[in-house]
A and B are shown apart, each in its own frame.
Chain A
């Protein structure tokens, strides 16, 4: 009875807590739309992204097999999920909340829309509205290339961006660029996003203490914020600009978790001393039994 009362109370409390935490989406984000039409290609790409990044928590769409977290990750095919506008979905993907991580630096803007394209494929009544051309403002270009170089004197990284515009390959001015350093998981944003000057160059201040690999290599990735207008462009360059860092593997030194040949000295000593000590006495006592036997034998011989 008490158990039932408590579980009821718990359910009430949890639902109160959840209803108090509606995920508010700002009005300007609410109305954002995808700059491109969702098609089979975008749905396929979105599906791959979904199964890599989202499925572990949200489960397979339509199967209601999300993992039990608080708040529960909604199923993609659910009315709750499909009730979001495209813009709201994009906002939630970018910002994250609680156990839901932010995908701002993990997925590109285009990839985010691809995921939404895939999610929408589970809603038969969905009609896509595409952003008007003016929304995707700014210049656009083809065959955009980003080249990264290191300005040693000022410890800065320079991104030079060019692209084919009006059929001429030329520097791209006024494009916003982000610079990332690759980490074990995800990317670290380096400096602020910068906008290219008239020569198509943007300069990032590079920190002096960023750890690189054992020879100081740091893998840098630069991408354009507006990858819808410029196409998906990424520079992926390794430069020797980090602090050379040698991280010894956890199995290098003697440790409790290591193999037996790398057991801690104190443990080897204590174990050996204890075992030899105890068994030394045991063997001594076994020899005493022999001594008793001999003592008895002598008397008989006398």
Chain B
């Protein structure tokens, strides 16, 4: 994002066609009603599951004394991880000056906002007494990484929301007069949210400065959020968690999950909204290269994380690794590593697989594997506490997620999809003014 904005694009005729393309899907359509209806009904079932848990307590889950962090915490780590991509794309790549990220940046921010917003709810789902949530703030200890986590997740959500909203303001102003086909309340919402934007250089100057501050601030915040999430595990002595590389290991894993989520949403937007003019094969090709890069870095951390303890085979670590490599979790472990990491890396090295549809399929595998990878990180460690497990019922020693638990987890994913759907459907999903500005630059260059 340049700090100086040339507002000539407002007078370029191409702005009309760009705005028309991007605003065409905005509004309530039949497809939207069907899709939201489906999500709404599914969510109701999940809310009923949560009602059961709220009523009876965590006993309705598979969680017991020894394995007290299960699907919910794995899900939380997954949500935090996926939300980090907002920082990677709009901030890191944007600040470097890569032009191709401009149409994707808002998609990345939508993912960031939706996943960060639900991450907090996921934690509440893991609480047997959710009405005690205020106690975290009333009696929380500043020494506990849980307090740090609550702090950074909140901060990250606010910054991500601002990074979604700020560049949207000029778009809302551009859209105002071109929304004839949409309901009145939506037009009024645009009117309010566009905060009297009328494209003055002064407004652009203020906006660019504000965006720039947020783009820089989100980098340490995003690093903090996932590093702290990794510390929730790494500050213990337990095999599989007691690792000094857990911070970067989580961070790089987050970029893999997030990039895959962005590709999936890009694909939906491109196909359903017929925006292939703006989300071109080039964008998918570049996202493919990005995904390979972050996956290779993540693979590197995986090798470190498993090879080093695997070489030493300290007693407790050996039991844990044995469980993962050839034991109870071997099928899940190797599926995740091969289908979600190694094979995608190999495939994405070829140009053919970086085309939109193959990229979409690969990203689905990567994202699903990313969820199970969090499960692999969270659960198996607790199978082997350092204290002897004596004379306890069998169900305390093994963890099997229940249907209620799975439904609640599914509910959080549905909620994130609902937020994404609303943001994608009611607001321009591709930054109109930034695309128009770039187009204007291209035009003036060709004229010269």
Partner-B contacts on A (CB < 8 A):
2-3, 65, 67-68, 256-260, 263-264, 267-268, 271, 274-275, 278-279, 281-282, 284-286, 288-289, 291-293, 295-297, 299-300
Contact = CB atoms under 8 A, between A and B. Distances in A.
A interface, over-half SS: helix
A27 to B, nearest CB: 37
Interface in B101-141: 140-141
B389 to A, nearest CB: 10
Contact of B196 (A258, A282, A293): A293
Contacts, number: 83
Contact of B195 (A259, A274, A282, A292): A292
Contacts of A279: 155
Interface stretch (B9-17, B202-210, B376-384): B202-210
B299 interface: no
B142 A282 contact: no
B143 A260 contact: yes
Nearest to B139: A260
B435 interface: no
B195 A278 contact: no
Q: Which 7 A-B residue pairs are closest in the complex by CB-CB distance? A: A296-B196, A288-B210, A293-B195, A285-B210, A260-B141, A256-B143, A295-B202
Interface string B170-200: 0000000000000000000000000111101
B396 interface: no
Contacts of B140: 260
A151 B141 CA distance: 52
B143 A67 contact: no
Contact of A271 (B148, B166, B195, B206): B148
Contacts of A296: 195-198, 200, 203
Nearest to B221: A278
Given A275-B151, A279-B155, A263 B142 contact: yes
Contact of B200 (A260, A285, A295): A295
B169 interface: yes
B47 interface: no
A286 B388 CA distance: 54
Contact of A258 (B143, B207, B210, B221): B143
Contacts of B169: 289, 292
Interface in B309-324: none
Contacts of A300: 196, 198
Contacts of A264: 143
Contacts of A3: 326-327
Contact of B391 (A65, A274, A286, A292): A65
B446 interface: no
Given A67-B390, A260-B141, A278 B155 contact: yes
A299 B159 CA distance: 29
A288 B158 contact: no
A275 B388 CA distance: 41
Contacts of B391: 65
Given A295-B203, A299-B200, A267 B142 contact: yes
B162 interface: yes
B206 A67 contact: no
A295 B199 CA distance: 10
Interface string B355-397: 0000000000000000000000000000000001011000000
B326 A299 contact: no
B177 to A, nearest CB: 15
Contacts of B142: 260, 263, 267-268, 271
A297 B196 contact: yes
Interface in B218-232: 220-221, 224
B198 A299 contact: yes
A295 B206 contact: yes
B403 interface: no
B36 interface: no
16 contacts: A68-B388, A258-B143, A259-B141, A260-B141, A260-B143, A263-B141, A278-B159, A278-B220, A279-B155, A281-B214, A292-B197, A295-B202, A296-B195, A296-B196, A296-B198, A297-B196
Contacts of A292: 169, 195-197, 203, 206-207
A288 B206 contact: yes
Most B C-beta atoms less than 10 A away, residue of A2, A65, A256, A292:
A292
Most B C-beta atoms less than 10 A away, residue of A264, A288, A295:
A295
